[in-house]
Chains A and B, each alone.
Chain A
Amino acid sequence: MTHQFPTLSEAQKRELHETALRIVSPGKGILAADESVGSMAKRLAQVGVENTEENRRQYRQILFSADDRVSGCIGGIIFFHETLYQNSDTGIPFVKMIRDRGILVGIKVDKGVVPLAGTFGETTTQGLDGLSDRCAQYKKDGAVFAKWRCVLKVSETNPSTLAITENANVLARYSSICQQHGIVPIIEPEILPDGDHDLKRSQCITEKVLTAVYKAMSDHHVYLEGTLLKPNMVTSGHSCSTKYGPEEVAMATVTALRRTVPPAVTGVAFLSGGQSEEEATVHLNAINNCPLAKPWILSFSFGRALQASALRAWRGHKENEKGATEQFIKKAEANSLASQGKYTGGDNNYTDAGQRSYGSCHAY
């Protein structure tokens, strides 16, 4: 184990690193449009639209038809398998539409969560079987990055050591396989916000989970510069009675990352979890204004937080398409600003006075 049997050539490393840099180049983040058929059912039901393949195609088309304004805000879009092979109304493959805008194509490659027997409702994620061959094919079909989601939850007993170790390991196996095929793995160890735990507890757990993730990455010889991290922000549980301001969320989040994510990781693109569009943007902005040194890019990989308004504006009606696309573009621009700490919409206004309210990191 102390001999290096090179996993990647210099050229392969360079390709992976450059891809990662392009996805999170300054001002850019990721649109997570990879909702599975089941997840899309939930989204479409909310606006009274039937969950057919055609409706899913129409909906994604609304997002992908955004004009050049998104080229400076979106570095990559994560696709679901079905979408990778769909075309626009005029017969143009979605992959081509996206790439023509200079946006990189990503693909969700996991096959959902499965239970861990002997735990209290905990899971791991499946999808490793034949993953190497699938990655090779996805690369041919235009994808240059991938995403795999693991899920952990907080309760009196959770997350257990087994859940942390098993999910970290499966994320590392997935990453290792992706890199062999020139695909940048986005590593997503999501800790759900369900529960009444406070900010401190969330931070403690996030630190333990991320430490395990990066130990596993090291054990599996993953090339960190050619990866991206997609973590939860550190927030209190949904049912926690204490409310925390954006600066507290930001300080807890950045502190946790500084203690666990090696500087070699090219970028951190947060998931929005259960946050509203505005909440997610304000938090991302506060994170980028946090006065602690942050050696990675801190951006977004949002699903609902980029699409909610667009979905509501569309409601399945063709005449609403342009308006819906416009909603998406607005959110993309807002989050682009937030990823640079320059978002001034909503209730926040980050002047020097604003920075002082972050508080001391010693309390975290």
Chain B
Amino acid sequence: MTHQFPSLSPEQKKELSDIAQRIVAPGKGILAADESTGTMGKRLEKIKVENSEENRRYFRDLLFSTDPSISNCVGGIIFFHETLYQKSDSGKLFPQVIKDKGIVVGIKVDKGTAGLNGTDGETTTQGLDGLSERCAQYKKDGCDFAKWRCVLKISDSCPTSVAIAENANVLARYASICQQNGLVPIVEPEILPDGTHDLLRCQYVTEKVLAAVYKALSDHHVYLEGTLLKPNMVTAGQSCAKKFTPQEVAMATVTALRRTVPASVPGICFLSGGQSEEEASLNLNAINQVPLNRPWKLSFSYGRALQASALAAWQGKTANKAAAQEAFCSRAKINGLASKGEYKASGSADQASMKSLFSASYIY
């Protein structure tokens, strides 16, 4: 175990590192458009649209065919398997549409959660079987990065050691296999916001989970410079009585990351979880203003927080296409600014006064 049997050649490392850097280039983040068929069903149901393959294609086409200036704020898009082989109205395969805009194509490769027996409803994630062959095929079909989501929850007894260790391990196996096939793995250990816990508890759990993740990545010889992290922001539980400001969320989040994520990880792209579009943007912006040394890019990998307005504007009607695209572009631009700490929400103070809201006295 103390001999290095090289897992990747210098050329392979460079390729992975370059891809990761392109995805999180300054001002850019990720559009998570990888909702499974079931999940898309939930989204479409909200606007009373039938969950047909054509409707799913149409909506993704609406997003992907937006004005090319979208590539100034979107560095990568995560696809669901079905979408990778669908075409836009113009007849072009979606991966090509995206690549023509200079955006990197990613693919969700996990196969959903599976129960951990003997726990209180905790899970691991499956999808490792045949993953190497699938990755090789996805690379041929235009993908350069992948995503795998693990889920943990907070309660009086959770997350347990086994849940933390098992999910960290499966993320490391997935990451190792991806890299062998030239795909940058996005590592997503999501801690759900459900619960009454406060900010401090979430920070504590996040630190334990991320420490385990990076130990597992090291044990599995994963090349950190060729990975990205997709964590939850540190927030209080959704049913927590106390409310916390974006500055408090930001400080707790950056502190947790500084204690656990090595500087060699090029970028951290937050998931939006249950946050509203504006909440997700304000929090990301505050994160990028925290007066602590942040050696990684801090950006976004948003699904709902980028698409909610577009979906609402579309309502399933072709006539609303332009308006829906406009809504999407608007959110993308805002998050691009937030990833640089330059987002000024209307009615909010400027950067200088924002900084002073960071409580200098509280130590996390």
Interface range on chain B: under 10, 10 to 19, 20 to 34, or 35 or more?
35 or more
**Cβ contact within 8 Å between A218 and B208:** yes
Q: A201: which B residues are within 8 A, CB to CB? A: 2-4
From B13, B204, B218, B260, contact of A4 by CB (8 A): B204
**How close is A225's CB to chain B, nearest CB, in angstroms?**
8
From B3, B215, B224, B263, contact of A215 by CB (8 A): B215
From A2, A154, A207, A361, contact of B205 by CB (8 A): A2
| Interface stretch (choices B78-86, B153-161, B173-181, B182-190) | B153-161
A-B contact pairs, 26 of them (CB 8 A): A1-B160, A1-B161, A1-B208, A2-B154, A2-B160, A2-B205, A4-B200, A4-B204, A10-B362, A14-B363, A157-B2, A158-B2, A159-B2, A201-B2, A201-B4, A211-B218, A214-B211, A255-B264, A258-B295, A259-B264, A262-B262, A263-B294, A294-B263, A295-B293, A295-B295, A362-B225
From B1, B215, B259, B293, contact of A224 by CB (8 A): B259
10 A-B pairs with least C-beta separation: A218-B211, A204-B4, A211-B218, A4-B204, A264-B258, A258-B264, A215-B215, A295-B295, A264-B259, A362-B14
From B13, B157, B214, contact of A362 by CB (8 A): B13
* A74 close to B (CB within 8 Å): no
In the bound complex, CA of A4 to CA of B205 (Å): 8
**Cβ contact within 8 Å between B363 and A10:** yes
**How close is A277's CB to chain B, nearest CB, in angstroms?**
30
In the bound complex, CA of A208 to CA of B200 (Å): 30
* B130 close to A (CB within 8 Å): no
* A353 close to B (CB within 8 Å): no
In the bound complex, CA of A105 to CA of B218 (Å): 36
* B255 close to A (CB within 8 Å): yes
* A260 close to B (CB within 8 Å): yes
* A360 close to B (CB within 8 Å): yes
Q: A17: which B residues are within 8 A, CB to CB? A: 363
Chain A interface (Cβ < 8 Å from any Cβ of B): 1-4, 10, 13-14, 17, 154, 157-161, 200-201, 204-205, 207-208, 211-212, 214-215, 218-219, 224, 255, 257-264, 293-295, 360-363
For residues 22 through 80 of chain B, which have their beta carbon under 8 Å from a beta carbon of chain A?
Answer: none
* B118 close to A (CB within 8 Å): no
* B17 close to A (CB within 8 Å): yes
Q: B97: which A residues are within 8 A, CB to CB? A: none
Q: B157: which A residues are within 8 A, CB to CB? A: 2
With A159-B2, A207-B218: A262-B261 Cβ-Cβ less than 8 Å = yes
* B347 close to A (CB within 8 Å): no
Contact string, B1-17, partner A, CB cutoff 8 A, digits 1/0? 11110000010011001
Classify the secondary structure of A's interface with B: helix
From A154, A208, A261, A360, contact of B218 by CB (8 A): A208
In the bound complex, CA of A362 to CA of B20 (Å): 13
Q: B218: which A residues are within 8 A, CB to CB? A: 207-208, 211, 259-260
* B166 close to A (CB within 8 Å): no
Q: A257: which B residues are within 8 A, CB to CB? A: 263
* B207 close to A (CB within 8 Å): yes
In the bound complex, CA of A261 to CA of B157 (Å): 30
For residues 189 through 243 of chain B, which have their beta carbon under 8 Å from a beta carbon of chain A?
Answer: 200-201, 204-205, 207-208, 211-212, 214-215, 218-219, 224-225
**Cβ contact within 8 Å between A263 and B14:** no
Q: B255: which A residues are within 8 A, CB to CB? A: 264
For residues 258 through 274 of chain B, which have their beta carbon under 8 Å from a beta carbon of chain A?
Answer: 258-264
**Cβ contact within 8 Å between B4 and A262:** no
**Cβ contact within 8 Å between B260 and A218:** yes
Closest to A211 in B: B218
**Cβ contact within 8 Å between A4 and B14:** no
**How close is A61's CB to chain B, nearest CB, in angstroms?**
39
In the bound complex, CA of A99 to CA of B201 (Å): 40
In the bound complex, CA of A103 to CA of B10 (Å): 45
**How close is A159's CB to chain B, nearest CB, in angstroms?**
6
In the bound complex, CA of A363 to CA of B6 (Å): 11
**Cβ contact within 8 Å between B2 and A360:** no
In the bound complex, CA of A77 to CA of B204 (Å): 34
Closest to B225 in A: A361
In the bound complex, CA of A294 to CA of B200 (Å): 28
In the bound complex, CA of A246 to CA of B204 (Å): 40
In the bound complex, CA of A159 to CA of B2 (Å): 7
**Cβ contact within 8 Å between A161 and B1:** yes
Q: A261: which B residues are within 8 A, CB to CB? A: 262-263
Q: A294: which B residues are within 8 A, CB to CB? A: 263
In the bound complex, CA of A263 to CA of B292 (Å): 10
Closest to B161 in A: A1
Q: B2: which A residues are within 8 A, CB to CB? A: 154, 157-160, 201, 204-205, 208
In the bound complex, CA of A354 to CA of B97 (Å): 44
**Cβ contact within 8 Å between B263 and A218:** no
Closest to A163 in B: B2
**How close is B147's CB to chain A, nearest CB, in angstroms?**
22
Point out which of A1, A154, A161 has the most chain B C-beta atoms below 10 A from its C-beta.
A1
In the bound complex, CA of A262 to CA of B207 (Å): 11
**Cβ contact within 8 Å between B258 and A262:** yes
Q: A200: which B residues are within 8 A, CB to CB? A: 4
Closest to A201 in B: B4
